[in-house]
A = this chain, B = another copy of it.
Amino acid sequence: MTTGTDPERSRGRPRSPESHRAILAATREVLDEVGYVRLTVEGVATRAGVGKSTVYRWWPSKSALVLEAVGSALAAPPRPTGDVRADIRAVLANIVEDLRGPLAVTLLALGSDALHDAPAAAEPVDLLQADRGAVQDMIEDAGRRGDLPADVDADLLLDVCVGTLLYRLLCRRPTEDVVDRLVDLVVEGRIPRTGPETEPT
C-alpha cells in the first residue's frame, strides 16, 4: 500500500524525520532535567543538533512542542479484557506510569498556561485521556453486564481515579498501593482503610 508521496506535500526538500524525532526526544530530556518553565526552545534545538527555526517551523510555540513531546511518550492504552477490575487497574497503572517523570508537572504547567487561552485550554489535560472514550465504554459495558450499577456515571468514576492519582503525585505522596484501593472504592464501594493491605475478595 503506497501511502507514498502526496504531490502537494512533497515539493522541495521533505521534512527530515530524524530532526523531528531528535527534537521531541531532546524536549523530553530537557523537560526531565529542568522542567517546563526553565525549558528553552533554544536549549532544545541545540541539544537536538537543530536550528531554532526548524523547531518553530513545525511547532508554533514552546507549549505546542512540549504538548506533543509529552503526548508522544504516553503509554499505549491497554486492551479491555472484560474483567472490570482488571481493566480499570490497567488504565490506572498506565496513568501512574505516565505521570512518573516530568509529565505530571508538565501537564499542570501546560494546563495552567493554557487555561488563560480559551482555544488551547482543554488540550493538555485531555492528553491523559486520549483513550477516555474507550475507557468509558468499557465501564458502561461493565454496567450492562451487571459488574457495576447499570446507570454508573463513568465520567465521574474515571475522574475520581485520575484526579486522585494526579493529585497524590503532585503532592509527592506515595501511589504504589493506591491503585488497588481506588479500584476497590469505585468498583465495590469499599471505603479505603489503613492496615495490612486490602485483602482479595
Interface of A toward B, CB cutoff 8 Å = 34-38, 105-109, 111-113, 115-116, 121-122, 125-126, 148-149, 151-153, 155-157, 159-160, 162-168, 170-173, 178, 181-182, 185-195
Report the separation of the CA atoms of residues A148 and B194 in the bound assembly, to the nearest whole angstrom.
12
Q: Can you report 5 residue pairs joining A to B where beta carbons are below 8 Å apart?
A: A37-B116, A38-B116, A105-B116, A153-B194, A162-B167
Report the separation of the CA atoms of residues A189 and B192 in the bound assembly, to the nearest whole angstrom.
10
Distance (Å) between the CB of A92 and the closest chain B CB?
Answer: 13
Stoichiometry, copies per complex: 4
Does A168 lie within 8 Å of B157, measured CB to CB?
no
Chain B residues near A151 (CB, 8 Å)?
193-195
Chain B residues near A112 (CB, 8 Å)?
35-37, 105-109, 112
Distance (Å) between the CB of A184 and the closest chain B CB?
Answer: 9
Distance (Å) between the CB of A129 and the closest chain B CB?
Answer: 8
Of the candidates B126, B148, B171, the one whose C-beta lies within 8 Å of that of A171 is: B126
Chain B: CB-nearest residue to A121: B172
